[in-house]
Amino acid sequence: MPHHTSRHLAEGPRVGVRPFTYEDGAEFTARARESKDLHRPWLFPPTTTQAYTAYAGRLIEDRCKAGFLVCEKSDGAIGGFININNIVDGGFQSGALGYGAFAHAAGRGLMREGLDLVVRYAFGPMRLHRLEINVQPGNAASIALARRCGFRLEGFSPKMLFVDGAWRDHQRWAITTEMVPRQGPR
């Protein structure tokens, strides 16, 4: 099932991150179907080829979005995904992060490593200054990941995003380039 043909944009000891491709659809959707219990009610990644093609197309073709697959270096297996949405240039130089681990990779520290790599890539080659994560207050795993990766809690937004049929409250977590150490692993 793993896909081996793309180069990583950044690598850590156990994972590399690379852009989405249309060819990743079969593995991505299989992993998403296997992970439904892990994702619900927080996240709804595509589980069909048609839905994946539309989803990946937005990440590949829209310059205001960037999608990254977190892949295990040992075998190329997709362990999760991290997207930067709503990328704004100019004086703002910011983006909004969304992410999800797949069940086989959850709890192994792979997403921590992948998110650190994406943050450094965003603040390096992408030249962004700020990244924000919006998390539903009950999503303890996502909040723990944001905290472990150095994001700070900045606020609470009632009824911020429409998720699973209703407007949901979210906590706002953010990091700026000044908060990321310049050398060595985090």
3-state secondary structure 165-178: CEEEEEEEEEEEHH
pLDDT at 48 exceeding the cut of 80 = yes
pLDDT confidence tier of residue 181, bands split at 50, 70 and 90: confident
| Predicted pLDDT of residue 114 | 97
Structure tokens at 34: 């296997």
Tell me the C-alpha distance between 14 and 17, whole Å: 10
pLDDT digit string, tens, across residues 56-103:
999 999 999 999 999 999 999 999 999 999 999 989 999 999 999 999
Residues 6+ apart with CB under 8 A from 111: 70, 79, 80, 82, 99, 101, 105, 145
pLDDT at 186 exceeding the cut of 90 = no
Q: What's the whole-model pTM score?
A: 0.91
Q: Which residue would you say has higher pLDDT here, 60 or 181? A: 60
**3-state secondary structure (DSSP) of residue 52:** helix
pLDDT at 5 exceeding the cut of 70 = no
| Residue 23 DSSP label | G
Residues 6+ apart with CB under 8 A from 167: 159, 160, 161
